[in-house]
Structures are given as structure tokens and as C-alpha cells.
Amino acid sequence: MLQLKTAGYIALENLHKRLPFPPQWQTQEELEKVTNHYHTEFLEERFKVSRTLGAFFFAAEMVDRSIRTDEQEHMDDPSLPVVKKLAMIRALDNMNNMMSLYPQYISVIEPSIREIARKKKRNTKVLELASGAGGLAFALAERAKRSALPVEISGSEIVPEYVEYSNRVAEERNLPVNFRIINAFTMDALENCSCDIILVSQSLHHFTPGQLARIIVQSRRHGASLFLGLDGHRGMDLLAGVPLIAMLQGNSVLVLDGYTSARKFYSELELDLIAQIATGSNRHDTEFSWPLTVLRVPLG
């Protein structure tokens, strides 16, 4: 219901006629600003279109508007003690395991890993940004050990304590995964061509449209072949389901964050708009693989 594709496609067409598209930018700051502006213009145009399409479409638009938020999750609050943040990302990892999400994520990622490995005749190098407690990276490493998946996986975070925790767990579990501190907006610590796939999972909604565009551009500038983004599908099912599953972790703050996150998930057309501005092309694609929206952006 919250994808609103009929009104969205018309809104995008109107936006392309009214504004220069894709917009021009020179600096990363300009890219961030113009992407945020176009995203706002898209939502406003979709609202206008929905009113002309009739009561059903307008009601769906109003539901989306009432739910949508730019409120910050508690785990992104810089004043929250690191000990509590660590407890939350561990609880999130437990929630993913409870829902068997990691196998689902891997089934989405694996074809790209194998395709790049065939082309380059070596293991595919994957870097996960905003890797949290490292759960997906660990799951990929375990799959590589069991089924000869041709991948070398590393993770990154901006919070040093997350990196320390994940490296400690990797050592305890004897998994060939390393984690380091990387700023996703600049990737200064990343050598050119040191990874093939830049991966962001469960974190797209933590970034503004302009920030996501910057991450995609930086992924290309540092030599990656593919940007791969996975996040919750924007819809009423996850709006109820995410906080309900979070409730089973016994962490009330995580429940609130789960509800906030579901309200912030991007629709497929929003991600399409962001990727097109970042790359200036239509080579990317979005896919619904319940409960995920998947964004693939070829960069080579």
C-alpha cells in the first residue's frame, strides 16, 4: 500500500518535465543538497497527483504522509551511551537470527558474488558499510566455509566500539572477517579497487536521500563494481511486524526504534530517484524480495 507506484510514476514524469534531470552537481555537498531537494519535490508532486487520481489514491497518500517521519532512531543518538548502543545492535542481530533473515539476505547477494567472481577469476571482495554487530558478515563467512562461496568479506562502522566488538566476535568464532572504521560519506580509509561490492543492509533508512547518493558516488569513485542496498520493504505489514518482532527481544527502546525504522523505509521509486541522480543513468534496478527492497546499482 505504501509503495504508491501509480501516483509515483506520474509524479516522476512530471518532475522530469518541470526540472532538469538528472540534475547537475560538482561537489559532494551539492550532490547531497540537490538530491534532498528533488526527493522533497517528488513527494510533493506525488501528493498533487494523488489528489487528481481519486479518493482511493489520495487516502493511500495521506496514510503514507501520516506515517512518514525523519525522526532519529535512538541507536543513532550520539548522546546514548555506547554500552546501550551495543546492547541494541546485539538485540537486532538476535532478531535477524530469530526471523532467519540472514539466509534471505545471502540468497539476494550470492548471485552477484558468483557473477563477479566468474568475471574476475578470483574471490569477490565485499565491504559492508554500517555493519553493526557484524551478523550478516559472519553469516556470509560461514556460508563461504560451508559451500565454497567465492567471497572475501569485511565490515565497517563509524563507531569504534562496534568495530572492536565485531573483531572480537570474529576472532572467537574463527571467521576470516575483519572490521574497520570507515566514514561511509568519504571512504577515505578505503583503497581504490580494494572491494568489488559495497553492501549496505538494514541501514538505508538511517541515511537521508542526499547521504545515500553520496555513498553510491563514493562507491564508484573507489572502484567498486556494484553498490547493493537491502532494507525493509515500505508497507503496512512491516510497520506492524518490525516492532512486534523487536518486542520479543525484551528491549523497549529497540521496539520504538523498530517502529521508527519502518516509518522511514524508502519506497522503490524513492530509491530509483536517488540512484538516478547519483549515477546520471538508469542502469540500476530495484526488486521486492519480501521482506526486503533491494537496490542494485552497477558502477563499472
- Rounded distance between C-alpha atoms, residue 45 and residue 165, angstroms: 45
Residue-number span of the structural domain to which 212 is assigned: 74-298
Same domain, 16 and 88: no
CATH classification of the domain holding 131: 3.40.50.150
| Structural contact between residues 266 and 278, judged by C-beta atoms closer than 8 angstroms | no
| β partners of residue 231 | 293
Cell of 8: 509515483
Q: In angstroms, rounded to a whole number, what is the distance separating the alpha carbons of residues 183 and 156?
A: 8
Q: How confident is the model at residue 190 (pLDDT cuts 50, 70, 90)?
A: confident
pLDDT value at residue 246 = 87
Quick: pLDDT tens for 249-291.
888 888 999 999 999 999 999 999 999 999 999 999 999 999 9
Same domain for 104 and 61, yes or no, is: no
> What pLDDT, in 10s, does the model give residues 55-112?
999 999 999 999 999 999 999 998 999 899 999 999 999 999 988 999 999 999 999 9
The pLDDT of residue 151 is 97
Q: Do 51 and 99 sit in the same domain of this protein?
A: no
Q: How far is CA 95 from the centre of its chain?
A: 18
pLDDT tens digits for range 36-52: 999 999 999 999 999 99
Picking from 43, 67, 91, the residue at the C-terminal end of a domain is 67
Same domain, 184 and 258: yes
124 in the same domain as 162: yes
Domain match, 156 and 233 both: yes
Q: Percentage of the chain with pLDDT > 70?
A: 99
Q: End of a domain among 49, 67, 85?
A: 67
Q: Are residues 61 and 112 in the same domain?
A: no
- Give the mean model confidence (pLDDT) for residues 19-29: 95
pLDDT of 192 > 80? The answer is no
Q: Is the pLDDT of residue 1 over 80?
A: no
Whether 53 shows a pLDDT value over 80: the answer reads: yes
233 grid coordinates: 520493504
The count of domains in the chain is: 2
Q: Are strands 151-157 and 285-289 parallel, antiparallel or unpaired?
A: unpaired
Model pTM score: 0.96
- The answer on pLDDT for 6 being more than 80 is yes
Residue type, 36: N
Pick the last residue of a domain from 44, 67, 90.
67
Q: Which three cell numbers, joined as nine digits, stand for 293?
A: 527492497
Distance CA 62, CA 58 (A): 6
3-state DSSP of 7-44: HHHHHHHHHHHHCCCCCCCCCHHHHHHHHHHHHHHHHH
pLDDT at 189: 82
Let me know whether 95 and 38 are in one domain: no
Domain check: are 113 and 52 in the same one? no
Q: Which residues pair with 296 in a beta bridge?
A: 228, 285
62/80 same-domain check = no
pLDDT above 80: residue 165: yes
The answer to whether residues 143 and 189 belong to one domain is yes
Q: Is 221 found in the same domain as 86?
A: yes
